[in-house]
Amino acid sequence: MRRSKPRIGLTASENAAAGLCQIPAAYQRALLFCGALPLLLPLELSRADCAQLSRDLDGFLFSGGPDIHPFYFGEETLEGCADQSQARDRTELRLFAAARQKKKPILAVCRGAQLVNIALGGDIWQDLGFVSRPLPIAHRQPFSPSRPSHHVSLTDGSLLARILGETRLAVNSAHHQAIRRAAPGLRVSALAPDGIIEAVEAADGSFLIGVQWHPELLLDSQPHARRLFRAFADRCQNTP
């Protein structure tokens, strides 16, 4: 008898002006494509809610979205920092702690990767426009995010490199913030040519992967995007 599809909690963005909780359809499409059942999560969740979800669901995808409030990593708001959602920040930090406690697989994309790093004690660059870099890589690419815009180099021996079977990827880029210092318990698993951290993962080998690019938008053009989502869904399927 075939086991039911893994149930994956998917975090959403807040559109406060319109009173909406929303998510780009590409995330749901990617999870459905790889045989998972995506479940959109509310913006407001208590600690008890997060604990229940971490017991009941098989994994979590922390999606991209607006900036995280700088107070969460001990900084003042700098010029270049954009809009943020108090409800989303609060809920996702609670949810991450609960999911991690239950050892549930976690895939984090763009903002999600930054949130994971902050939750574990790391920090981020509030705006890459103020960061001195050897190459002027366009981390906010000037064309469609469904097309790659720069390459990343993967760390040999990392879980991400083993999953993808490659050490150099063509990725898209749609961010103005990035991880500055990897948190304790995380290791860097990919870098852009200008040295910006593009992926982190759990140092203990558990399935906690954060990528700065948007694999959900590369599903049709890049095999590595499909391999990442399939590996995530498989781990969710096989985690008690």
Residues annotated catalytic, as ranges: 110, 214, 216
- CA–CA distance, 231 with 19 (Å, rounded to integer): 35
Write down the H helix ranges in the chain.
25-33, 47-56, 86-101, 111-119, 159-164, 223-237
For residue 45, the one-letter residue type is L
- CA–CA distance, 117 with 70 (Å, rounded to integer): 13
DSSP secondary structure letter of residue 207: S
- Structure token pair of residue 52: 């229940």
Tell me which residue of 181, 216, 215 sits closest to 200, measured CA to CA.
181
- CA–CA distance, 218 with 224 (Å, rounded to integer): 9
DSSP secondary structure letter of residue 140: B
- Structure token pair of residue 150: 């720069």
CA 175 distance to own-chain centroid: 12
